Structure 1
Amino acid sequence: MKTSSIIKTSLVALVASSALLAGQLYAVDNTDSTVKTEQVAAKGDKHHGHKGGMHKMLRKLDLTDAQKVQVKAIYEKYQANRPERPTKEQRAAHKADMLALITTAGFDDVKATEMVEAKQQMHLQKTLTHMKMQNEIYQLLTPEQQQKFQDKFNSGKGHKSRY
C-alpha cells in the first residue's frame, strides 16, 4: 500500500516537472535563440534576428534619407528603454527556484503559477514594445510606402510565422 502511494506521488511529480521543464525549455530556447539570431544577424544573415523582419521590409520601401534618420532614432529610443537581460546570478537563482519547485515532495501550484505568469508578463511587455516601435515607424511612411508595406506584410513571402 505504502509503496504504491510513493510510486503514484513520484509519478505525479515526474509528470508535473516534465510539463514545467518543457515550458521552461521553450522559454529558455526563445531567449537563447534571440541571442543566437542576433549573433547570426551581426555576421550578415538577413533572414534572422533584428536584421531580418522590419529591416528587410524597410529596405524594400526605398526610404528617404530623412526617413532613415527618423527610423534610426526610433530604434535607438526603444533600444535605450529596453529592460536589461537577467544577470547570470539571476538566471542561476531562477534555475535553483525551479529545481526546488520540481524536487519538493509537495508541488507548489501557487509558486509554479507565479513563475509562469512572470515569464509570460515579460514576453507580453517585450512584444507590446516591439509592436509600438513598428507602429511609430509605419507612421513615418508615405501613403504609397504604407500600401507597399501592407502588401508585403500580407504576402509574407518567405516568412515563417512564429505563432
Structure 2
Amino acid sequence: MKPSSILKTSLVALVASSALLTGQLYATDTTGSTVHTEQVAPKGDRQHGHKGGMHKMLGALELTDEQKVQVKAIFGKYKANRPERPTKEQRATHKAEMLALITTAGFDEAKATEMAEAKQQLQLQKMLTHLKMQNEIYQLLTPEQQQKFQDRFNSGKGHASRH
C-alpha cells in the first residue's frame, strides 16, 4: 500500500471513530427517575436506557420500601443537578472542530490538548458526582446490605465490565 493511501485510510478511520466517540460524549442517561429493583434490561439495551451498575446492584440488595424511597430521592437530587445536555448546534460545532483538527495539514497540538482537557474535566466531574451519589446510597444500607454490596462489588457483579 502507498504511504498516502495508508494515511488516507487512517484519517478516515480516525474521523469515523471520532464521530462515534462524539456520540458517546454527548449521550444522556435516559433512565427514569424511579428506582427499579426488578430484573433489569440486558447490558447494552440502549432502546430503554442502560439499567446496569447501581440499579442492578440495588436490585440484588433487597431494599426496604423506605430505602427505595430514599434512594429514589437521591437519584432525583443528582439528576436535577446534572448539567444540561449540549444542544444540537453545540454538538455540531464540536464535531466540526474535531474534523478541522484532524484534517488540517498542520496539527494544532494546543487546540487538541485544550479539547482533550475539556473532555477529561467533564469526565472527572461526572465521576465525582456519581461516586458521591453512590456513597450517599451506600450510607442508607444496613450493615448486612453493605457487606453484600462489598462482596458483589469485589466479585464484579452489578457493574458493567469495562474491557
TM-score, normalised relative to structure 2: 0.74
- Name the residue aligned to 1:96: 96
Larger Rg: 1
1:148 Cα offset (Å): 0.7
- Name the residue aligned to 1:112: 112
> CA separation in 1, counterparts of 2:90 and 2:147?
44
Q: CA RMSD in A?
A: 3.2
Residue type of the alignment partner of 1:27: L
3-state DSSP of counterpart to 1:51? coil
- Name the residue aligned to 1:74: 74
- Name the residue aligned to 1:60: 60
CA-to-aligned-CA distance 1:58-105 (integer Å, 9 cap, x gap): 122121111111100000000000011111000111111122222323
Contact 2:101 2:107 in 1 (8 A): yes
The reply on whether 1:130 has 2:130 as its aligned counterpart is yes
CA-to-aligned-CA distance 1:25-45 (integer Å, 9 cap, x gap): 46325347x559859xxxx61
Residue type of the alignment partner of 1:97: E
- Name the residue aligned to 1:3: none
> CA separation in 1, counterparts of 2:73 and 2:52?
18
**Sequence identity (%):** 68
1:108 Cα offset (Å): 0.9
Q: How many residues align?
A: 151
Cα distance change of structure 1 residues 99 and 26 upon mapping to structure 2, 3 Å threshold: closer
The one of 6, 17, 24 equivalent to 1:30 is 24
Contact 1:78 1:133 in 2 (8 A): yes
- Name the residue aligned to 2:41: 45
Cα distance change of structure 1 residues 160 and 66 upon mapping to structure 2, 3 Å threshold: closer
Contact 2:54 2:158 in 1 (8 A): no
Residue type of the alignment partner of 2:142: T
Structure 1, unaligned stretches of length 5 or more? 1-7
TM-score, normalised relative to structure 1: 0.74
Structure 2, unaligned stretches of length 5 or more? 33-39
Structure showing the higher helix proportion among its residues: 1
- Name the residue aligned to 1:4: none
> CA separation in 2, counterparts of 1:85 and 1:20?
25
1:15 Cα offset (Å): 9.3
> CA separation in 2, counterparts of 1:15 and 1:114?
26
Cα distance change of structure 1 residues 102 and 60 upon mapping to structure 2, 3 Å threshold: closer
